Structure 1
């Protein structure tokens, strides 16, 4: 693991993307910053993080085995790696909220932003951005957020967490070589938040409806069983889980 440690930067994902535009970084190159002025979440959202309190970093994963159509497998493996690493810190009721947020006690503790690098119609690597709420105590206008400190009452070492998470993700990618995509998907689905439970969703246009999460498609679309007993699939840009 090659680590680039920075005090502050616009975005660790942007830093690695700029680097990759010149030459492909080494596998598992990590860019870690104590503060990001333009930290990003899914769909362009701003990632709110108190300086020095949390773990915000990006990792470059070279791709040697997955096709463009299989890129959601990368998201599943990263989610599984983070889930298993946090499990070691006795965080209660961990779950993966589709597509790749990590929850504890139904509150968001970790966000993931994956940006794939495609050249000549081939997936050559992925920039994996991870924001983990570690020692932050207050979240302005974010009632659904929490941190490891709030959940455990302890202060946690960020370097220890970084090493644990990267190692766990590496293990997932290594193990994936001897697994089928179906096996990876089955494990991912078993950890999904609200799986097989009646839930409320919102789609574009503010329409609200009820359904039950049944899993994901190979491309990462969410499978929802509707009241008319049909199963419909949704992209993460199309639907929001309201609980």
Structure 2
């Protein structure tokens, strides 16, 4: 594993994407930063992090996806890898809020953003960015955010977490190759509020009640509606209220 440590950068994902596009960057290269000035989340959301307190990392993953229609496989690998490591750290009440927010009880402690690119030869490479709240304890004006330190009353070594997460990703990539169905089932078993009546809001600010049943092969959230119909939603179509 090649590890590049930066003091500050606008975006570790952007930095690593530029590296991968312009050189033969080795698989599982990791870029980490103490401060990220333009951290990104899903759908263009901004990821804010206190300097030096949290794990900000991006990892280059190649030779995993052979078809762009299978991109959600990688979301599953990365999210489960983080969950696996945090379970060993005895972080309580872990779950994955679709598609890939990491939760402890009803608080967000981490977020994942995966960006995929196709080279001229048709090969696919991905940059998986992770922002994990580790030792930050001040979340003023962020009522749904928390950290490992807050939920356990302990401090953590960010470097050890990084090494363990990368190792877990490599293992889960092998699991994906051996038994994709089992890995998908594991992901769905970790879904936040699965099988629980939940209020959602659609693009028009209309609210409705539904029950999360799973995720489609294309990565859409499957919700059982009040009329007993199963409906699939993309991330831009629906917001969970909790």
TM-score range, shorter chain: over 0.9
Q: Secondary structure at the match of 2:178?
A: coil
For the Cα contact (< 8 Å) 1:202–1:241, is it kept in 2? yes
User: How far apart in 2 are the matches of 1:218 and 1:86?
Assistant: 26
Partner of 2:197: 198
User: How far apart in 2 are the matches of 1:126 and 1:88?
Assistant: 26
Partner of 1:88: 88
Partner of 2:212: 213
| Higher deviation after alignment, 122-131 or 83-92 | 122-131
Partner of 1:168: 168
| Higher deviation after alignment, 196-205 or 16-25 | 16-25
User: How far apart in 1 are the matches of 2:64 and 2:103?
Assistant: 30
TM-score (norm 2): 0.97
User: How far apart in 2 are the matches of 1:106 and 1:51?
Assistant: 24
Partner of 1:226: 225
1:114-158, Cα deviation, whole Å (9 max, x unpaired): 000112483521100000000001113210000010011111111
User: How far apart in 2 are the matches of 1:219 and 1:20?
Assistant: 26
Q: Secondary structure at the match of 1:122?
A: coil
Gaps of 5+ in 1: none
Partner of 1:35: 35
Shift of 1:184: 1.9
User: How far apart in 1 are the matches of 2:101 and 2:142?
Assistant: 15
Partner of 1:68: 68
Q: Secondary structure at the match of 2:30?
A: strand
Q: Secondary structure at the match of 1:219?
A: coil
1:78 and 2:78 correspond: yes
RMSD, matched Cα = 1.2
TM-score (norm 1): 0.96
Question: Runs of 4 or more off by more than 4 Å in structure 1?
Answer: none
For the Cα contact (< 8 Å) 1:63–1:126, is it kept in 2? no
Shift of 1:106: 1.4
For the Cα contact (< 8 Å) 2:66–2:124, is it kept in 1? no
Q: Secondary structure at the match of 2:108?
A: strand
User: How far apart in 2 are the matches of 1:185 and 1:123?
Assistant: 23
User: How far apart in 2 are the matches of 1:189 and 1:121?
Assistant: 33
Shift of 1:67: 1.1
User: How far apart in 1 are the matches of 2:126 and 2:23?
Assistant: 13
Q: Within 5 Å, which residues of 2 pair with 1:55-204?
A: 55-120=55-120, 122-180=122-180, 182-204=181-203
Gaps of 5+ in 2: none
User: How far apart in 2 are the matches of 1:86 and 1:187?
Assistant: 15
Q: Secondary structure at the match of 2:164?
A: helix
